[in-house]
């Protein structure tokens, strides 16, 4: 009977260690993605794309005044790369989605796609209708 208990405790401990190891690896991967998204290289990409939406973005004359990266939205994209949300002008309804990937030849991070909420579309419409 004692042998069965020892084996059972050993199996449970092995499973717990396995689950803990997986969770630790996921945390490390997420922390690396956050570090990449907070980098200067990604900041330049985000600001370039915002200026594509609003030529005067991030200036006094622009309708897009500020942006904030939503750390909780940073995920590994199903097709590879990183996906995350950016909120404009401190308004969670003004959401822009970014998809980034690393060029395998140059190692440089590149914008690979994304989209934006209908509220951003209305804001962009205001810009383009002026």
pTM score, whole prediction: 0.82
55: DSSP letter: T
What per-residue confidence (pLDDT) applies to 75? 96
The predicted pLDDT at position 2 comes to 86
Cα separation of the two ends of the chain = 82
Report how far residue 124's alpha carbon sits from residue 74's, in angstroms, rounded to the nearest whole number: 25
pLDDT of residue 127: 56
Q: Is 102 helix (H, G, I), strand (E, B) or coil?
A: strand
Pick from 60, 119, 56, 58: nearest CA to 85: 119
Residue ranges in the chain whose pLDDT is less than 50: 129-130
């Amino acid at each position: 009977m004692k042998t069965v208990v020892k084996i059972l405790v050993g199996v449970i401990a092995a499973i717990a260690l396995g689950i803990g190891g997986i969770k630790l690896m996921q945390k490390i991967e997420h922390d690396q993605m956050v570090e990449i998204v907070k980098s200067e290289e990604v900041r330049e990409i985000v600001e370039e794309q915002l200026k594509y939406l609003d030529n005067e973005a991030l200036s006094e004359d622009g309708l897009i005044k500020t942006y904030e990266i939503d750390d909780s939205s940073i995920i590994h994209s199903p097709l590879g790369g990183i996906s995350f949300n950016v909120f404009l002008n401190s308004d969670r309804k003004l959401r822009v989605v970014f998809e980034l990937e690393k060029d395998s030849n140059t190692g440089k991070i590149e914008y690979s796609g994304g989209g934006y909420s209908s509220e951003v579309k209305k804001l962009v419409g205001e810009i383009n209708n002026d």
